[in-house]
Amino acid sequence: MVIRFGSARSSEDAASYLIAALQTDDAYLGQIAAASLTQLESTEVDSEIESVFETADEDTEVHALASFVQSAL
């Protein structure tokens, strides 16, 4: 998966790209995405994070990273 952050037109686009990166199989990319998501406006990230909770199992790293992001917003 290739994620191009430079093509983001807005913070909403950046949030969407970072959520996609959060859900990849690359653990380090997921951690970087989670840390980056905490730097965005919470209104842009909240609905995206909710979609992660709807699809990720509770015992996964993706769910743990999403919980970290939600608690940091």
Q: Mind listing the pLDDT tens digit of every residue in the chain (73 residues)? A: 445 555 556 777 889 999 999 999 999 999 999 999 999 888 889 988 999 999 999 999 999 999 999 999 8
In sequence order, what DSSP letters do the residues of 7-66 get, joined into one string?
Answer: G--SHHHHHHHHHHHHTSS-HHHHHHHHHHHTTS-HHHHHHHHHHHHHHS-TTSHHHHHH
Amino acid at 32: I
Domain ranges in the chain are 10-72
Instruction: Tell me the pLDDT tens digit for each residue of 4-24.
Output: 555 556 777 889 999 999 999
